[in-house]
Structure formats: structure tokens, C-alpha cells
Amino acid sequence: MLFGLLAASFLSPPALFSGEVSERAATGSGSDVADYRSRLLLVDAPGVGFLQGSTAIHVQDPRGEGRTLHRSYTQRVRAAGLLQDRQQLHVVLGGFDLRSSRDPDKLSGLGISVGEVRYVGEEVAFDVDLSLRLDCDSAECDIFDRAVDYDVAVMWTLLAADDQVRVQTTTMDSDYSWVGKKGAELESSSFVRAGTIQGEPDNFSQAFTAFRGIFMDLDDDHHYQEWATVIRPLAYDPVQGSARVGLSLLFKQWNQRSRARLLSYADRGSARVRADIALFQLRQGWVEEEVVEGSVHWKATGGAARVDNSKVQQVLF
């Protein structure tokens, strides 16, 4: 699941970036389709160093269902090139993958964040923190199996600069609820929260926003239908140094429009979401948004949710 930025400073055109989208779910007795849309930022700024990578975290607990499991990992990267001897070091989230190594559970809580970047000898280091809560108490679940066994990959981007960049951070949060099968459809577009981040006025011609943390707390374990993790600039005023941003952070349960709604689980519920956001102002450079979208189709095989049933390879740009 991508929602981050790509550092264009490392590109030497012509270049193609491709991504792979895969579906991993129980295939049941009917074919299905999953739609996806990713918003990616291309950023280029003279003198600013970018480095992208990922951190793998394994979460395993034989009695982990229904409990919030916390894991923390200190990521270290060699401080070479544009990462060496800089006045500013920052890291932001670029996405995450969440995969079960056994029978999967339903999500009821998730938190992913990155900490402050620091020099440690000839390396830079930062903490990646994960909290995960899963459970499964509906008819298709094995109620005697309480184990949790998941692999999480957290994507991140490091940014290193001197006086070319200014950074301001803020937090945006939201609560929402739904009423089940007979309730109104939750439309993703209605869950965009707008806000303003005040940066430094004058001297910074471009700006972009990125996640430093995402947190979602559901009242119970729910069947997943749709997920949104988007932060995007709506407008930036370089004279005032203010950025108007839109946040969409949404977990969506099965609902009135589910194809098998007479049999599907669509219980009432609620969610509390929070995002830690950073505004980056660039003295020089350019920022461009790319939208990548498509569909993943798969056939009914009666298979488990531990393997990739279908994959799509797509050129991002």
C-alpha cells in the first residue's frame, strides 16, 4: 500500500518506475475484483538528499488475538553522499504491507510511525514503531486459534538538507461511525478532512506534505472493504507560507451495497483515526503529483489467504 513520495533527485531520464499490486485473501466460491488508487509525489530539490527503503517487522504471538501488540525497530543507514554531515535529517512514511503467515484475522487497530533521525557514528538511525491489534470471532474463524503471525513492511523516505528546507509538523484526527446493513453508505469522498499548516513565510517556492504516523482504532474487529490513506496539498501560498491540506484516513466495513448483503457481516461500529503530518517547504525545486489506479481480478479457487492469488505489474511513470 503506497501513499508516499518518490525522490526524483535520483532519476536520470529516461527512466521507468514500475509497481506490483497483489491480492491476498480467501477466494471463496465466487470471483471478485479489487480496485486500487495510489497518489505519489515526485519531488526534486537542489542540494537535498533523498534515500528510500523499507523496514521488515515480524509480529508473532501464540495468544495475540484481541491484544494490542507493540513492536519497535531501530533502522540504521550508512551516512554517505548527500546524507553525510547535514544540518537537517527527516524521515517520512511511504506506505506499508501487512501480510499474514497463517490464517488471517480481522483488523481492529493499527499504528505505524517513524521517529526522529539522528547520527550514530557513520550511520543515521531512526525508530520505526508498530502497534497491531487483530481478532476474528465471526462464523468463518477458528475460535480456538488465538495466534497472530504477521509480516509488516514499512516503507520510508529519508530527507537530508541544510538551509534549503523548512519543516513544520501537525496532527489531524477524526472520529466516525456507521450503522450496519441498513445504514447509509460510507462514501470515501465525505471523509476528507481539510486543515491548514502554517509554515515559514517568503523564500520557499514549493511545498509538499507527508505522513510521519498513521493511527486507526476500531471499536471491534470488522470485515475490511475499503482503506484510504491520503494526505495531499489543496493549495500552497509561498508568500504567507501556509498550506491547505486534505486528509483521508478511512477504514470501511462491509455495507448496504455488499453483493451478498443478506449473508454478509455488516455490523454497526466506529473508528478513531489520527495522522501525524509534516509540511516540507523547499527554497527551490519542483513537486508533481502522479495518480496510479487499476484493478486486480481473481477467480474462485476455494484457496486460503496465505498466497498471492493475483498480481498486476504496472508502470508508475
Q: Tell which residue, 224, 219, 214, has the closest CA to residue 186.
A: 224
Residues in the chain: 317
Strand partners, 282: 165, 206
pTM of the entire predicted model: 0.83
| 53/290 Cα distance (integer angstroms) | 20
Q: Among the residues of the chain, which ranges form H helices?
A: none
pLDDT band at 290 (very low <50, low <70, confident <90, very high): confident
Distance of CA 81 to the CA centre of its chain: 28
DSSP summary character for residue 2: B
Q: For 102, phi and psi rounded to 5 degrees?
A: -145, -160
pLDDT band at 10 (very low <50, low <70, confident <90, very high): very low
Q: For 10, phi and psi rounded to 5 degrees?
A: -95, 0
Average pLDDT, the chain: 80
Between 10 and 109, name the one with better pLDDT. Answer: 109
| 248/252 Cα distance (integer angstroms) | 12
Per-residue model confidence as pLDDT tens digits over 93-144: 998 988 887 777 888 899 999 999 999 999 999 999 999 998 877 766 777 7
| 98/111 Cα distance (integer angstroms) | 12
Q: Where are the domains of the chain?
A: 5-15+32-295
Q: Tell which residue, 262, 293, 241, 283, has the closest CA to residue 34.
A: 293
pLDDT band at 16 (very low <50, low <70, confident <90, very high): very low
